[in-house]
Amino acid sequence: MRKSKNCGVNARPKCRQARLEDELGDILFVIANLARHLGVDPEAAIRSTNSKFTARFKWMEKMPISILSLGGDGAKWEQAKSQSR
């Protein structure tokens, strides 16, 4: 995807979204190459992270909704992390 010269600071939302996707794609590409350079299989790494996230999320789903805050202080998420290790 080529970057549009019309996507300035005050660009339309679709144009901004396209630029964000383009830039994020570049970042993901760099991270995947860095992983390979370090001898890490990037696909295996993301699979592992997804598995951890799923386990933590399932742990939190078992919690009564009344003790989970919408503020997102992260305390229950941290507890889920420690429980899934």
Residue-wise pLDDT tens digits, 28-69: 999 999 999 999 999 999 999 999 999 988 988 888 777 776
- Higher-confidence residue: 58 or 10? 58
Residues 7, 46, single domain; the answer is no
Q: Which of 28, 32, 27, 55 lies closest to 45, judged by CA? A: 32
What integer pLDDT is reported at residue 1 of this predicted model?
46
* E strand or H helix at 32: helix 13-37
Instruction: For 65, list phi and psi in degrees, rounded to 5.
Output: -60, -30
- Higher-confidence residue: 13 or 36? 36
Query: Domain range for residue 17?
Result: 1-40
What integer pLDDT is reported at residue 10 of this predicted model?
66
Q: How many CB atoms lie within 10 A of CB 31?
A: 13
Residues 35, 45, single domain; the answer is no
- pLDDT surpassing 80 at residue 72: no
Number of folded domains that form the chain: 2
Residues 7, 22, single domain; the answer is yes
In whole angstroms, what is the distance from residue 76 CA to residue 32 CA? Answer: 31
Query: What is the maximum span of the chain, computed from C-alpha positions, in angstroms?
Result: 51
